[in-house]
Chains A and B, each alone.
Chain A
Amino acid sequence: MSSVPRTPLLPMMRFQRRKRLERFASIAAIVIITAAWFYGLTTQHSDASELVANVLPDVVRVVEDRGIFIGYDSQDSNTPVGYAGVGEAVGYGGPVRLLVGVDPAGEVVGIQVIQHRETPGFFRRLHESGFFRQFLGRTSDSPMLLGQDIDGISGATLSAEAIAAGIRQTVYEITATELKPEPRPVAFGLPEITLIALYAVGLFSARSHNVHLKKYLRIGMLIAGVVLLGFVFNRPLTVAHVTSFLAGYWPDWRNDLYWFLLLGGVVLITFVRGKNPYCSWFCPFGAVQECFGMLGGAKPYRPARLNRYLKWFQRSLAFAAIVLGLALRQPTVTSYEPFSTLFTLRGTLFVWALLVIVLFASMIIRRPFCNYLCPIDPVVDFVGFVRNWLRQQ
């Protein structure tokens, strides 16, 4: 058998083959994500009419009229004893759907959560702390706003806001006086200002040619990221933001402008400048890993042969988290990052274990979670990849 010497591929051919593979993988990823989106959309359902008796206890017969359930206390009665309607508002992990019962005087007499996608532990705290009961007896004249006549629950603010908005909307609809616009002005406070300032400083730093200034600005941004985005606001960018965005679970921009600034800013800057602003500038968890790295003298581990496979593995993890989150219509359940546990000091045993291992590893390997496991880096890389692809066309 004659042996034919194999001609090694030229570097340019290898590069072009890799680029073709990446483009094919990108198209396949978009197709699968779209399929997961349709699957999740077509399999979610809930029938609220069966639950009306839970929020209007004396009701025997229920008639639906233009989306409002009208309750009667006997089969023959024509005098309504209450009304119920379904309210929906977007919380942290997606829409929270509620059934709200109102008596003929317009007072809230019952509330039931039909469906939610919030983190179970945090959401359960709302019930255990009596949050829902604060709404009983309220009418459409009540503002039903957190910080005014309703007390919020620490650590579950977004879920509480969504519940209040859903109840408010339903009570206004049922009382049928008029559909009042949201009385709340646009929420623009310290979190939004901090985020805009971080983007501005990051962009300024990127344009600066002064190496020392860039270094000090980056340290300042990382500290601000850890302290403010991490411990104070506890709102770092997670894969749940990406999945919620793709699933169409967009919060009301007036209540949660931060959500749009965080996600939109990262995507926009990556698309315009071709660089990931979040991970290197002010990711709080990345900054914490860097601190541990300084303590232990960590160095970057980039094995030449394995590097490419590890990168694809990280992309696969991110892809699986997004596809699963879309198929289940539950963005938060596949958000495996240990950020929240670090900044709130709350979490399950397994998340704590992951966090401890990552922090220990950070003392030896530079930013191990960011470089090998974090789902945000591949997502932002994908935006940059699409940008470069479009520019080449």
Chain B
Amino acid sequence: MTGTQVKTKPFEVALLLIFVVVCTILIVVIVVSAIEQNATTVIDQSIYLASPTETP
């Protein structure tokens, strides 16, 4: 975030803030759903079983 400082207009600041807020909400949702999905995966270990008695 270095370089020449460019004058940023108020509506551009608003646009930037909207971008950061919306993306942050999405990031939180992505991480929370990934944690929940992974927790389910670790519990349901039987789906990663391979044995002669397993039904493919």
Asked whether B33 lies within 8 Å of A348 as measured between CB atoms, the reply is yes
Measured in the bound complex, the distance between the Cα atoms of B41 and A352 in whole Å is: 22
> B14 to nearest A CB, angstroms?
10
Asked whether B52 lies within 8 Å of A300 as measured between CB atoms, the reply is no
8 Å CB contacts to B: which residues of A279-306? 299-304, 306
Partner of A357 from the list B17, B19, B30, B49 (CB cut-off 8 Å) is B19
Nearest residue (CB) in A for B26 is A354
Measured in the bound complex, the distance between the Cα atoms of B38 and A113 in whole Å is: 14
Asked whether B53 lies within 8 Å of A57 as measured between CB atoms, the reply is yes
Chain B positions within 8 Å of A373 at CB level: 20, 23-24, 27
Asked whether A350 lies within 8 Å of B49 as measured between CB atoms, the reply is no
Assuming the A-B contacts A333-B34, A333-B35, are A353 and B26 also in contact, with contact meaning beta carbons closer than 8 angstroms in the complex? yes
Q: Does A253 make an interface contact (CB < 8 A)?
A: no
Asked whether B20 lies within 8 Å of A313 as measured between CB atoms, the reply is yes
8 Å CB contacts to A: which residues of B4-56? 4-6, 8, 12-13, 15-17, 19-20, 22-24, 26-27, 29-31, 33-35, 37-38, 40-42, 45-54, 56
Asked whether A350 lies within 8 Å of B50 as measured between CB atoms, the reply is no
Q: Does A260 make an interface contact (CB < 8 A)?
A: no
Measured in the bound complex, the distance between the Cα atoms of B22 and A139 in whole Å is: 53
Which of these binds chain B: A8-16, A123-131, A228-236?
A: A123-131
Q: Does A364 make an interface contact (CB < 8 A)?
A: yes
Assuming the A-B contacts A300-B3, A348-B30, are A306 and B13 also in contact, with contact meaning beta carbons closer than 8 angstroms in the complex? yes
Report the interface size for chain A: residues with CB under 8 A from the other chain.
59
Asked whether B6 lies within 8 Å of A302 as measured between CB atoms, the reply is yes
Chain B positions within 8 Å of A126 at CB level: 48
Q: Does A120 make an interface contact (CB < 8 A)?
A: yes
Chain A positions within 8 Å of B40 at CB level: 120
Q: Which residues of A contact B (CB under 8 A)?
A: 51, 54-55, 57, 101, 109-117, 120, 123-124, 126-127, 130, 132-133, 135-136, 299-304, 306-307, 310-311, 313, 317, 321, 324, 328, 330, 332-334, 336, 348, 350-351, 353-354, 357-358, 361, 364-365, 368-369, 371-373
Could you jot down 21 A-B contacts, CB within 8 Å?
Answer: A55-B49, A109-B51, A112-B48, A112-B49, A112-B51, A114-B45, A127-B47, A132-B49, A135-B50, A303-B12, A306-B13, A306-B17, A310-B16, A324-B35, A333-B35, A334-B34, A334-B35, A348-B30, A348-B33, A350-B29, A372-B20
Q: Which residues of B contact A (CB under 8 A)?
A: 1, 3-6, 8, 12-13, 15-17, 19-20, 22-24, 26-27, 29-31, 33-35, 37-38, 40-42, 45-54, 56
